[in-house]
């Protein structure tokens, strides 16, 4: 089978075990597993990475170990993705193509240029509609409020890729509604015990929705705590401006 460039991957492609195309269930960090941005990743360590000039194809792998399996999915020089954590010489990387198809896996850090994002991006850089993995209906809109505050709304689902689940109306959904002030390139908040109110992230109840959003140039890297909707619903992932 011919290798497939990520920009041409379709949502129904079955990828070899260990690789995730818009992972159907939320990612939980394990040392050798990379299924996207995990709840335990350090959000302030997220970085935008660009594939260096070199081989025409940089293939994802299912493990940072030497005997890891190579995926059919690959990036090419100039592609940009988000590195969410590292293990030895490899980084857990998530790529979102223009069609909203998301793929995660391990890539050698030496093949990537790690790009420095503005530590304090201008306020207008946050504003707009952002889309994540299309198969998960991930969408976030950020609008200005008075003063430095930003207003965040969002929605996501889980199960839409399963025709049987769709037929019986078994799709789970989630939403987010918050006001928060950016801290440099980080926007973080938590749902209050009082419905409709927002509190600082660290003050939030861990059983309520908590979210961190990192602005990395033309992308958002989002991490939630799996409490922002129904079972398996997650906003975690890479987002780009809605087209």
Kindly report, residue by residue over 149-191, the tens digit of the pLDDT. 999 999 999 998 888 988 998 999 999 999 999 999 999 999 9
Higher pLDDT pick, 15 / 127: 127
Residues of the chain with pLDDT > 70, as a percent, come to: 87
Q: Which of 25-39, 93-107, 113-127, 213-227 has the lowest mean pLDDT?
A: 25-39
CA triplet 94, 118, 30: central angle to 5 degrees?
30
Q: Do residues 139 and 132 lie in contact, with contact meaning Cβ atoms separated by under 8 Å? A: yes
Most confident of 67-71, 90-94, 163-167: 90-94
CB distance 105 to 73 below 8 Å = yes
CATH topology of domain 4-115: SH3 type barrels. (2.30.30)
Confidence of residue 7 (pLDDT cuts 50, 70, 90): very low
Range ranked top by mean pLDDT from 27-31, 46-50, 169-173: 46-50
Which positions ≥6 away from 15 have C-beta within 8 Å?
21, 71, 72, 73, 103
5 has pLDDT over 60: no
For residue 183, give Cα distances in angstroms to 26, 44, 186, 203. Answer: 26, 11, 5, 16
Domain ranges of the chain: 4-115, 123-241
User: Class assignment of domain 123-241?
Assistant: mainly beta
Tokens of 243: 């087209």
- Of the chain, the percentage scoring pLDDT greater than 90 comes to 74
H-helix or E-strand spanning residue 154: strand 150-158
Q: What is d(CA 37, CA 86) in angstroms, rounded to the nearest whole number?
A: 12
Instruction: Say whether 123-241 and 4-115 share the same fold.
Output: no
Three-state SS at 135: helix
Q: What pLDDT is attached to residue 17?
A: 32
pLDDT of residue 147: 92
Give the torsion through C-alpha atoms of 160, 165, 168, 173, to 10 deg.
-50
pLDDT in tens, 51-62: 999 999 999 999
Per-residue b or e along 30-42, where b marks 16 or more CB atoms closer than 10 Å to that residue's CB? eeebbbbbbbebe
Written as six digits, the tokens of 163 are 């025709």
* Dihedral sign (CA 114, 120, 126, 132): positive
Exposure of 45 in the CB half-sphere (CA atoms within 13 A): 12
- CA 84 to each of CA 49, 109, 116, 120: distance values in angstroms, whole numbers, following the listed order: 10, 12, 14, 20
């Amino acid at each position: 089978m011919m290798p497939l460039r990520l920009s041409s991957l379709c949502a129904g492609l079955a990828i070899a075990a260990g690789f995730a195309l818009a992972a159907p269930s939320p990612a939980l960090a394990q040392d050798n597993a990379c299924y996207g941005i995990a709840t335990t990743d350090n959000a302030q360590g997220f970085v935008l990475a660009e594939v260096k000039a070199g081989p025409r194809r940089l293939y994802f792998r299912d493990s940072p170990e030497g005997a890891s399996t190579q995926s059919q999915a690959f990036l090419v020089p100039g592609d940009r993705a988000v590195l969410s954590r590292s293990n030895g010489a490899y980084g857990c990387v998530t790529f979102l193509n223009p069609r909203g198809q998301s793929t995660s896996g391990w890539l050698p850090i030496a093949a990537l240029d790690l790009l420095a994002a503005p530590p304090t991006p201008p306020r207008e850089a946050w504003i707009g509609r952002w889309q994540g993995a299309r198969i998960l209906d991930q969408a976030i809109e950020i609008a200005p409020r008075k003063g430095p505050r930003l207003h965040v709304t969002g929605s996501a689902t889980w199960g839409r890729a399963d025709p049987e689940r769709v037929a019986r109306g078994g799709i789970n959904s989630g939403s987010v509604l918050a006001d928060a002030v950016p801290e440099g390139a980080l926007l973080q908040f938590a749902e209050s015990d009082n419905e409709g109110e927002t509190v600082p992230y660290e003050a939030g109840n861990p059983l309520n929705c908590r979210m961190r959003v990192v602005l990395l140039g033309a992308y958002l890297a989002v991490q939630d705590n799996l409490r922002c909707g129904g079972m398996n619903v997650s906003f975690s992932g890479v987002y780009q401006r809605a087209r």
